[in-house]
Structure 1
Amino acid sequence: MSLEDRPVVDRFSSGVISAWLERHALLLAALVTAGVLAVMLYLPIGVVFLEAVLDDGAPTLGHFADVLTDPFYFGALADVFAEPLAIGTHLGSLAGWLAAVSISLTLEYPIPGVDLPVPWIDLETPGVRKGLFGFTAYQAGLSTIASVALGLPAAYVLANYEFYGRRTLRSLTILPFVMPGIMVAVGFYAMFGRSGTLNSVLGVVGFGPFAFIETSPLAIVILAHAFYNAPLVARLTVAAWESVDERTVETARSLGANKRRAFRDVVAPQLTPAVLTGALLTFIFTFMTFPIVLALGGLQLATVEVWIYDRIQRLDYAEAATLAVLETMLSLGLTYAYLRYESAQAGFSQASSSPSTEALFPDLRTALSPRRLAILGYGLVALILFVGPLASLVVGGFTDGSGLTLGNYAFLLERQLEGASFQTLPLPAIRNSLLFGGATLLIAVPMGVVISVLTVRAGRSGAIVDTLAMVPLAVSGVVFGIGLLQGLVFGLSLPGGWRLRVTGAVAIVVAHAVAAYPFVTRNVSPLLANLDSAMVESARALGASRVRALLDVELPLVANGIVAGAAFAFAISIGEFSSTVILASGSESYTMPVAVERYLGRRSGPAIAMGTVLLLVTAASFVVIDRVGGRYEL
């Protein structure tokens, strides 16, 4: 029976229900999103954090007092926390520590045929005790400096020069950021290890081999962090550079400013917000670093995150939870600062006249100019740091120490053909990664869009909603995975004898979606905030409801941001390791990163081969989504 043939009362009821749903669609979506976050995000985090404030079931702050006053964790600040009122004593100690700081030269790698070894500048602070938190912030600061220093030249080249493959290279700039940390560590071992690619190249000219990783693990960790985050800094800065109105630069030049002065007074101030945003995000990410430090530095370079993992492995949940609470408070404060800063920068219109680009190497004479030579020098550094680990990873899959071979891939094929249920098979790992990535998109994209709409429309109170929604950026995957395992996977008792459990593939997809949706929000919110409200008002004046105006006017105009967020979400799901390795305990729900870790514990060759497959799948998916998103660019 068609709608016209139904009784008038039924048609009226259907119309009323449809109208009510349309009026309250956003509210219902917000309630569903809040419910998902409450159960799948805040509840698991709360399960872990309860360990920090309970002692045999009784509330206590003793765990915090023990950690805050322990010099191992807070170094010199432990005395301040132990005796906060002894201000004079602390100031005297600070003066002594500052007097003890000195810059010295430490001797590192000897060069064959040269009497003196190569000096490395080091900052000695013999009177200062950093503690675990201090060292974590120290390495995060160094990593941030390295990431910005390496990311800005890349942004300059991508924003100002045209060359073959520029768009594909720009699409791939985010690939290192979404790679699993375990793969970055394997790639750096393949590049900088004693038998790695760099030592092989240096051996051809009579140098080495050098023990880069063994003798300078902190430097390698910092470079690995720069590998991760410099492309993120570059991507943010390129977007800001392309939004600079070329007419303002031309106006400055017409008033007598040279190129350097015009850049300093016109372009640089507009790039500063993007650079600071990238630096702040880099500091947050490297402060919570886990797999890279664990693989390349071990406990001797342990960060807070690595130590939390070690405490959990030793079943010391109270201490691990206390450290997790303190780490989350610090990172959440930094995340809030980032959100406030981003909000302060919102509302600036996009340029109507973007900067023009020029050919990178139009002729030989131009190629020999100082600027082009500097770009070539940077290209060599980028080749070693960014392409080297990835290329070494790919080459490592086809070698076994004695030459080229297909044995590593043959091992994966044999493992798949054997098909034993207890084994980690390559095809199920690839299938699961793709399925989980697709399912993550179905959850993370709607959640991210709903949160974006709420934060943009909420005005000043939107900052609070945004901060609460961005908690996944401030909570580590290790803490979140443990919370899911102890809470929802093991099951929580509910009133009335009910028991809530989320297990298997569902738990993994939820973990991936929770980790990914903030990136959708971060891509969509600025675009929504910059839309002309007159277009929405025109649609409303023509009879469109608020939801219809959102679906028909606003979302199509920010489709490029939605697609970019989807690319992030899919790639993050493909590469997620920290929570997945905890949740994929069975033989059916493992993913490619988990397969790499399991193979790595037995044979490095198949692990590298599996990692190469993961790299190719991630790169291909990200480029495809990014290219599709280009069709929607405004």
Structure 2
Amino acid sequence: MPVSGGLLDVRVRLRAVVDRYGLAAVTVGTVAVLAVMLFLPVGLVFAEAFAGPTPLASFQAVLTDPFYTGVLANVFADPLAVGTHLGNVLVWLAAIDLGFWYLELPPLRKGLFGFTAWQALLSTAASLLVGLPGAYVLARFEFPGRETVRSLTILPFVLPGIMVASGFYAAFGRGGLANWLVGLAGIAPLDLLEANPLLVVVLAHAFYNAPLVTRITTAAWESVDQSAVETARSLGASRRRAFRDVVVPQLRPAIVTGALLTYIFTFLTFPIVLALGGLELATVEVWVYDRVQRLQFESAATLAVMETVISLALTYAYLRYEAAQRAMAGGDGPEREPLFGELDLKRGAIAVYGLFVFVLFVGPLGSMVVESLTDGAGFTLRHYAFLVERQATGASFQTKPLPAIVNSLLFAAATVLVAVPMGVVVSVVTTGRSGGGAGGAGSDRSASRSRGRAVVETLTMLPFAVSGVVFGVGLLRGLVFGIPLPGGWRLQLTGAVAIVAAHAVAAYPFVVRNVAPQLAGVDTRLVESARSLGATRTRALFDIEVPLVATGLVAGAAFAFAISVGEFDSTVILASDSASYTMPVAVERYLGRRFGPAMAMGTLLLAVTAASFVVVGRLGGTVESDHRAEGREGSRGGRP
């Protein structure tokens, strides 16, 4: 009895300590993890770039090298020679051929940064052209399966980029499905990936980002103030005039938000260009990776810093427009009409668009699955058999499939365990609920807290603005190689720990995006009542708020799992040997060397990520959109 009483007393005291200090301890732990795993690696990359007796020499060398900045190199080399630069511009303009049916521009050397910006611009335009009609259909029409189609718009955050690249490789490569189909029609095979790889890259980016544009714009369209449209019509405005003057201004923040986010993602593109274009279509990301492979760390760090500065500026612009989108007053949106009715020009155009979207989105993934199950003679399982045989007989340095699959699942599970608590803590801070109530603070203190939350929310966006390659370089140069500490100690993270850290940092913002809206919708009076009855802030969080946001937690965990499974950018740098390879790394290793096994591994990766997609879709996972829907439903404690 005394022993049992003593254990009970210890448990009671431990519970009291956890209740009193648990939230503070987890918060401190989250800050420590972010400081060591995120800000320190990024800081080390910046330090590497500015190292040396002349800190700006490496930047000057990049800016004045036509390979990097193209025609702007002369401007950076001699910025005061304004007359010479204007003369060069006039010469270029004079060489423009204004044909009757076409406009032919003279060649213009873009350089590495210029090409990266150019392909991002093309990809953003393609994503808008594909995504905006989808938003129109989802917002204005009702049809069977509409909610399923809408849930598919989270695919960009579930499907690994290297797998998407594999699908387009299977569809448009020399041995791809597209060539097989044109061969049946008696047309000479065309290797589109070889003839016009940039087009394939842009299409792959549209596949990846058009659903994001659709999701953001649909949420805004469903919240248009319809009464303002009706007022404009009653005052004599035509349907087209009302759309242009009333609807478009309300949609503009969402469209710009989607465009900016797409541009950021495609400016930081890596696996798709690496797999489909390689160094021939090298973006800054691909070139940084190549410099790291060649152990040219100073050059890689310089490019990484310049790229990060550009992406941070774009992210700042994105946050401004996202704030504008959130601030707009929500309406009831237009009343949806049945999609399937009398065939007219509008429905005919929607049918053509639907066929194009089906080919664009189903074709690559279907091609990958088909190519994994066929060869020149027909149906076969030998590609999967190769994976089994490589597992049994492959050399230690070769990529083996089973460790890659197991590693992906284990790393993803560990990522969930780290990213979810981090996301909850950041959600509590950014929603202003860390104090547990209003607390009677003055206006100055309230404004200070609001600014503090804005800073924290901005910092949570850093993983979006800093690419996985840059983050991987920072981890490699710092924590993987080791950082000396006082007393002869050394801070070092290697292998699986470094990979899980990179994955958790990439995944926790998605937990925040799913938990924070629901947490903000929880009635604060419930928390205040619990606090007034003696509950600590930690007890109130776990007993009241966490159960009410359980669906957001599970959706965030599913996002974290899927992101970890598909993470390629930092993993390909940190995976030191075949024992730490993941499925995306295995796909990249096989791609271009063993086409069939690469498709088989990609199909296995598709199966794993599809399970995460089902969980996220059923729980209503959110990413960057549905802000007004979150506000309406959050006030009732419902799902976003």
In 1, the alpha carbon distance for the partners of 2:520 and 2:65 equals 46
Q: Does the CA-based 8 Å contact 1:432-1:590 persist in structure 2?
A: yes
CA deviation string 1:12-62 (max 9, x = no partner): 97797466426xx2x44332212111111122223333322223xx46221
* 2:69 aligned with 1:74: yes
* Aligned-partner SS, 1:173: helix
Q: Structure 2: state its 5+ residue gaps.
A: 433-448, 622-636
CA deviation string 1:102-142 (max 9, x = no partner): 5669xxxxxxxxxxxxx9x675243x432221121111111
CA deviation string 1:588-627 (max 9, x = no partner): 3322112222333642111101101111211122112321
Q: CA deviation at 1:256?
A: 5.6
**Residue of structure 2 equivalent to 1:360:** 339
Q: Does the CA-based 8 Å contact 1:346-1:526 persist in structure 2?
A: no
Cα separation, partners in 2 of 1:376 and 1:345, compared to 1, 3 Å: closer
Q: CA deviation at 1:316?
A: 1.9
Q: Which has the higher contact order (CA 8 A, sep 6+)?
A: 2
Aligned AA for 1:31?
V
In 2, the alpha carbon distance for the partners of 1:122 and 1:308 equals 35
Q: Does the CA-based 8 Å contact 2:20-2:537 persist in structure 1?
A: no
* Aligned-partner SS, 1:210: coil
What does 1:147-162 correspond to in 2, within 5 Å? 147-162=127-142
* 2:571 aligned with 1:580: yes
Q: CA deviation at 1:94?
A: 3.5
* 2:574 aligned with 1:599: no
Q: Structure 1: state its 5+ residue gaps.
A: 106-118
CA deviation string 1:131-171 (max 9, x = no partner): 22112111111111111110111222233333343333333
Q: Does the CA-based 8 Å contact 2:518-2:638 persist in structure 1?
A: no
Q: CA deviation at 1:193?
A: 2.4
CA deviation string 1:482-517 (max 9, x = no partner): 222232223222111112221222211111111112
* Aligned-partner SS, 1:588: helix
**Residue of structure 2 equivalent to 1:618:** 609
Counterpart selection for 1:321 from 301, 309, 332: 301
Counterpart selection for 2:60 from 43, 65, 79: 65
Cα separation, partners in 2 of 1:11 and 1:373, compared to 1, 3 Å: closer
In 2, the alpha carbon distance for the partners of 1:201 and 1:344 equals 47
Q: CA deviation at 1:378?
A: 0.8
CA deviation string 1:451-494 (max 9, x = no partner): 23323434123333333332221222222222222322232221
Aligned AA for 2:351?
L
Which has the higher mean CA deviation after the structures are superposed, 198-207 or 11-20?
A: 11-20
Aligned AA for 2:223?
S
* 2:484 aligned with 1:509: no
**Residue of structure 2 equivalent to 1:399:** 374
**Residue of structure 2 equivalent to 1:54:** 51
What does 1:348-427 correspond to in 2, within 5 Å? 348=328, 351=331, 353=332, 355-362=334-341, 366=342, 368-416=343-391, 424-427=399-402
What does 1:133-152 correspond to in 2, within 5 Å? 133-152=113-132
Which has the higher mean CA deviation after the structures are superposed, 411-420 or 318-327?
A: 411-420
What does 1:164-563 correspond to in 2, within 5 Å? 164-244=144-224, 249=229, 259-348=239-328, 351=331, 353=332, 355-362=334-341, 366=342, 368-416=343-391, 424-457=399-432, 458-525=449-516, 546-547=537-538, 550-551=541-542, 561-563=552-554
Cα separation, partners in 2 of 1:313 and 1:588, compared to 1, 3 Å: closer
In 1, the alpha carbon distance for the partners of 2:455 and 2:594 equals 48
* Aligned-partner SS, 1:75: helix
Cα separation, partners in 2 of 1:131 and 1:199, compared to 1, 3 Å: same
Q: Does the CA-based 8 Å contact 1:347-1:529 persist in structure 2?
A: no
**Residue of structure 2 equivalent to 1:633:** 639
Cα separation, partners in 2 of 1:341 and 1:310, compared to 1, 3 Å: same
In 1, the alpha carbon distance for the partners of 2:430 and 2:524 equals 16
Q: Does the CA-based 8 Å contact 1:560-1:632 persist in structure 2?
A: no
| RMSD between superposed Cα atoms in Å | 3.4
* Aligned-partner SS, 2:603: helix
Q: Tell me the TM-score normalised to structure 2 length.
A: 0.85
Aligned AA for 2:411?
F
Q: CA deviation at 1:255?
A: 5.8
* Aligned-partner SS, 1:346: helix
Which has the higher mean CA deviation after the structures are superposed, 277-286 or 161-170?
A: 161-170
Aligned AA for 1:597?
E
* Aligned-partner SS, 2:373: coil
* Aligned-partner SS, 2:380: coil
Percent identity between the two aligned chains? 65
Cα separation, partners in 2 of 1:547 and 1:244, compared to 1, 3 Å: farther
